[in-house]
Structure 1
Amino acid sequence: MTNTLVLDVDGTLVDTNYHHAVAWFRAFRRFDITVPTWRLHRAIGMGGDKLVAAVAGEHVERQHGDELREAWEAEFEPMLPEVRPLEGAHRLVASALERDLAVVLASSGKRHHVDHYLKLIDASDLTSTSSDDVEDTKPAPDLIEVALRRADADGRAVVIGDSVWDCEAAARAGLPSVCLRTGGFGEAELRDAGASAVYEELDQLRADLTDLPMA
């Protein structure tokens, strides 16, 4: 049986979390709604289907939810060429494959964004999911479950992410999680959310690939 790494993408492999926060801020301002960027940042990692209500309330979701998500996409699109891979992203994936680990990406992002990120880290052949594949994104476990099915995973697995939402989704899928601080969350809050280990950068995680907790 093959063990599987279920990798988040935004904030874990590519440096996008603050771009997303700015894009959401601008999207809300289109409707004369001001949500502080610190609050938006705290919500990055959950899907857009959850974020609007989480940061602005159910009434805003009811009135403007779909329009806000369209506005966010329009605001984020011009930033896409600015997105860069996080240091060590390609090395992590390559090392995992060399160690005969299966690698599957479970992202809450849009499909064309995910495809762009995969090209950036030279991993276009990896199995991946996007928000287009499920009705409920993180912190729901659906993306992880779909990713494992697509990878035909037959062994143990661990979720690797950068946010408390990744930890929650992993727990709800019955899997352990480890996290990077690359998304801007603190070590203590990631551990409180369930992360078994927290790393400052991807190369540190890569050094521990054979010792990660799996279930």
Structure 2
Amino acid sequence: MDTALILDVDGTLVDTTYHHALAWYRAFREVGVAVPVWRLHRAIGMGGDQLVAAVAGDEVERSHGDRVRELWKAEADRLMPEIRPFDGAVELLDAAGAEGFRVVLASSGKPDHVDHYLDLIGGRERASAWTSSADVSATKPHPELLEAAWERAGTTHALAVGDSVWDCDAAGKLGIPAVGVRTGGFGVDELTEHGARAVYEDLHELRRDLGRLARLAAEARPNRT
């Protein structure tokens, strides 16, 4: 099969969405900016280069953006020991490989965070390649991260899996099909409105549908140059 399965990591394979929302909340609070946790949750899935302006405005980005990202990293580091894989993550990776997908983990996380996640799910043994924020200049909803992952896969076709609307938006810009998993807290309607071709309650449900998803990816006409 000449198809990459491009898997988001944060919030999709490992349970980090609400940890990151809390870390961002604490980081903004340190610079005197109040951003409600619910608003932060809605932005999780964006990279940090996009998130500050998205939730707090361009002026906060100009005045405090780099400092907020630095503070977020420190807060997220403290929460790393609490992170666990979602049930079914390892089984999904194994099944995808057995199905014939070339598995690539498309994370915009910090390199040391990605290393930790790889340890949790045995990613180095189960994936062909992976990315981190160090590999791109712009993160989701820009498509650069998914494109970098796809290039590492070296396949003609690809399918993206993510937990947020930002994953779906990035895939749509590349013309590759995306499917959503509810693990990030986004609703079915939200994910489908942003282009998800299917939405699954958990990773086990997604794993059982891999055969159909392979056919879906093969039928797509991507925008890759």
2:223 is matched with none
Residue 153 of structure 2 aligns with an amino acid whose one-letter code is A
Aligned counterparts of 2:181 and 2:152: Cα–Cα separation in 1:
24
1:196 is matched with 197
Q: Larger deviation: 33-42 or 125-134?
A: 125-134
2:114 is matched with 114
Are the equivalent residues in 2 in contact too, given 1:87–1:202 (CA < 8 A)? Answer: yes
2:163 is matched with 162
Are the equivalent residues in 2 in contact too, given 1:115–1:124 (CA < 8 A)? Answer: no
Q: CA deviation at 1:149?
A: 1.0
* 1:145 equivalent among 144, 147, 171: 147
Where do residues 92-107 of structure 1 align in structure 2 (5 Å cutoff)? 92-107=92-107
**CA-to-aligned-CA distance 1:31-81 (integer Å, 9 cap, x gap):** 111100000000000000000000000000000111110000001101001
Count matched residues: 214
* Structure 1 unmatched ranges of 5 or more: none
Aligned counterparts of 2:8 and 2:95: Cα–Cα separation in 1:
17
> SS of the residue aligned with 1:143?
helix
> SS of the residue aligned with 1:113?
helix
1:24 is matched with 24
Q: CA deviation at 1:201?
A: 0.3
Question: Are 1:136 and 2:138 counterparts?
Answer: yes
> SS of the residue aligned with 1:124?
helix
Aligned counterparts of 1:81 and 1:33: Cα–Cα separation in 2:
27
Q: CA deviation at 1:101?
A: 1.0
Residue 201 of structure 2 aligns with an amino acid whose one-letter code is E
1:183 is matched with 184
Q: Pairwise CA RMSD of aligned residues?
A: 0.8
Are the equivalent residues in 2 in contact too, given 1:159–1:176 (CA < 8 A)? Answer: yes
**CA-to-aligned-CA distance 1:67-126 (integer Å, 9 cap, x gap):** 110000001101001000001000000001111210001111111111111110112242
2:38 is matched with 38
Are the equivalent residues in 2 in contact too, given 1:46–1:138 (CA < 8 A)? Answer: yes
**CA-to-aligned-CA distance 1:162-210 (integer Å, 9 cap, x gap):** 0000000000111110000000001010011110000000000000001
Aligned counterparts of 2:25 and 2:10: Cα–Cα separation in 1:
18
Moved segments of 4+, more than 2 Å: none
2:210 is matched with 209
> SS of the residue aligned with 2:6?
strand
Aligned counterparts of 1:148 and 1:199: Cα–Cα separation in 2:
23
Q: Larger deviation: 124-133 or 32-41?
A: 124-133
